[in-house]
A and B are shown apart, each in its own frame.
Chain A
Amino acid sequence: MALPAGLTKRDLASALEEFAAAVGRQFVFTSDEHINTYRDEFGPLRGTPKDPVPSAAIAPGSVEEVQKVVRIANQYRVPLWVISCGKNWGYGGPAPRVTGSVVVDLKRMNRILEVNEQHAYALVEPGVSYFDLYRHIQERKLKLWIDGPVGGWGSVVANTVERGVGQSILGDFYNFQCGMEVVLPDGELMRTGMGAVPGSPTWQQYKWGFGPHVDGLFSHSNIGIVTKIGTWLAPEPPVFLSCQVSVPRFEDIVPLIDITRPLRQKNLLVNSAVFPPRLGRPQDPANLGGWYNKIGFYGEDKVVDLQWQHVQDAYAAIPGVEFKARRFTAPYDAGEMDAFGRTLAGIPGVGGYGYRGVFCSPILPFTGEAIWNMIHSFDRIYQEYGLRYFGEAIHIHQARALVAPATVPISLDDPKVNETAVALVRRLIVESTRQGWGVYRITTAFMDEAMAAFSFNNGALLRFHETLKDALDPNGILAPGKNGIWPSKHRGRQA
Chain B
Amino acid sequence: MDPVMTSRRQFLGAATSALALVPVAGPAFAHASGAAGSRPSFYKVVYDERLTDCLAFAAEAAALGAATHGIRGDVTSLWYDDLYYRWREDNPAAIAGLTLEPAAFCLKVFARDAGLHQLLRGDHVCTAHGHFDHTVSAPMPIVRRVESLSASGEGWGAGVARLLSGFDGRMAPRSRASARTGVMSRGDTGLHLVSWVIAPGERRLRSGTVV
- Residues of chain A at the chain B interface (Cβ within 8 Å): 13, 16-17, 20, 25-31, 33-34, 36-37, 41, 56, 59, 61, 87, 107-108, 110-114, 131-132, 135, 152-153, 339, 348-351, 353-355
Are A33 and B210 in touch, CB under 8 angstroms?
Answer: no
Residues of B within 8 A of A112 (CB): 1
Q: Kindly supply a per-residue 1/0 record for chain B positions 57-82, scoring 1 wherever the CB is within 8 Å of any chain A CB and 0 otherwise.
A: 00000000000000001111001100
Are A31 and B206 in touch, CB under 8 angstroms?
Answer: yes
How far, in Å, is B52 (CB) from chain A's closest CB? 20
Residues of B within 8 A of A31 (CB): 15, 18, 206, 209, 211
Are B210 and A30 in touch, CB under 8 angstroms?
Answer: yes
Are B211 and A28 in touch, CB under 8 angstroms?
Answer: yes
How far, in Å, is A89 (CB) from chain B's closest CB? 9
**How many of chain B's residues have a CB under 8 angstroms from any CB in A?**
31
* Assembly CA distance A28 to B109 (angstroms): 20
Q: At the interface with chain A, which of B3-11, B126-134, B142-150?
A: B3-11
Q: Kindly supply a per-residue 1/0 record for chain B positions 72-107, scoring 1 wherever the CB is within 8 Å of any chain A CB and 0 otherwise.
A: 011110011000100000000000000000100110
Across the two chains, which residue of chain B brings its CB closest to A110?
A: B4
Are B1 and A111 in touch, CB under 8 angstroms?
Answer: yes
Main secondary structure of the interface of B (DSSP, over half): loop
Residues of B within 8 A of A354 (CB): 102
Across the two chains, which residue of chain B brings its CB closest to A16?
A: B210
Interface assignment of B191: CB less than 8 Å from any CB of chain A = no
- Besides A59-B11, A349-B76, A353-B105, 15 other CB < 8 A contacts? A20-B210, A25-B210, A27-B8, A30-B210, A33-B18, A34-B13, A36-B16, A41-B105, A108-B6, A111-B4, A114-B1, A153-B109, A349-B74, A350-B74, A354-B102
Across the two chains, which residue of chain B brings its CB closest to A115?
A: B1
Are B18 and A29 in touch, CB under 8 angstroms?
Answer: no
* Assembly CA distance A37 to B113 (angstroms): 10
Are A108 and B11 in touch, CB under 8 angstroms?
Answer: yes
Residues of A within 8 A of B80 (CB): 131, 135
Are A153 and B74 in touch, CB under 8 angstroms?
Answer: no
In-complex Cβ contact of B13 among A17, A37, A108 (8 A): A37
How far, in Å, is A378 (CB) from chain B's closest CB? 23
Are A350 and B75 in touch, CB under 8 angstroms?
Answer: yes
Cβ contacts A to B, 29 pairs, < 8 Å: A13-B210, A17-B210, A27-B8, A30-B209, A31-B211, A33-B15, A33-B18, A33-B19, A34-B15, A36-B14, A56-B210, A61-B6, A87-B109, A107-B11, A111-B1, A112-B1, A114-B1, A153-B110, A339-B74, A349-B76, A350-B74, A350-B75, A350-B76, A350-B79, A350-B110, A351-B73, A351-B74, A353-B105, A353-B106
Across the two chains, which residue of chain B brings its CB closest to A280?
A: B102
Are A110 and B211 in touch, CB under 8 angstroms?
Answer: no
Interface assignment of B124: CB less than 8 Å from any CB of chain A = no
| Count of chain A to chain B residue pairs whose CB atoms are closer than 8 Å in the complex | 81
Are B109 and A113 in touch, CB under 8 angstroms?
Answer: no
CB contact under 8 A between A25 and B211, given known A349-B74, A349-B76: yes
Residues of B within 8 A of A20 (CB): 210-211
Are A27 and B210 in touch, CB under 8 angstroms?
Answer: no
* Assembly CA distance A348 to B74 (angstroms): 12
Interface assignment of B184: CB less than 8 Å from any CB of chain A = no
* Assembly CA distance A26 to B15 (angstroms): 15
Q: Kindly supply a per-residue 1/0 record for chain B positions 104-121, scoring 1 wherever the CB is within 8 Å of any chain A CB and 0 otherwise.
A: 011001101100000000
Are A351 and B76 in touch, CB under 8 angstroms?
Answer: yes
Residues of A within 8 A of B106 (CB): 350, 353
CB contact under 8 A between A27 and B11, given known A153-B109, A349-B76, A351-B76: yes
Residues of A within 8 A of B6 (CB): 61, 107-108, 110
* Assembly CA distance A107 to B102 (angstroms): 23
Q: Kindly supply a per-residue 1/0 record for chain B positions 189-211, scoring 1 wherever the CB is within 8 Å of any chain A CB and 0 otherwise.
A: 00000000000000000100111
* Assembly CA distance A28 to B206 (angstroms): 14
How far, in Å, is A411 (CB) from chain B's closest CB? 11
Are A37 and B112 in touch, CB under 8 angstroms?
Answer: yes
Q: Kindly supply a per-residue 1/0 record for chain B positions 1-42, scoring 1 wherever the CB is within 8 Å of any chain A CB and 0 otherwise.
A: 101101010011111101100000000000000000000000
The CB with the most chain B CB atoms within 10 A, among A28, A131, A350, is that of: A350
Across the two chains, which residue of chain A brings its CB closest to B74?
A: A351
Are B8 and A26 in touch, CB under 8 angstroms?
Answer: yes
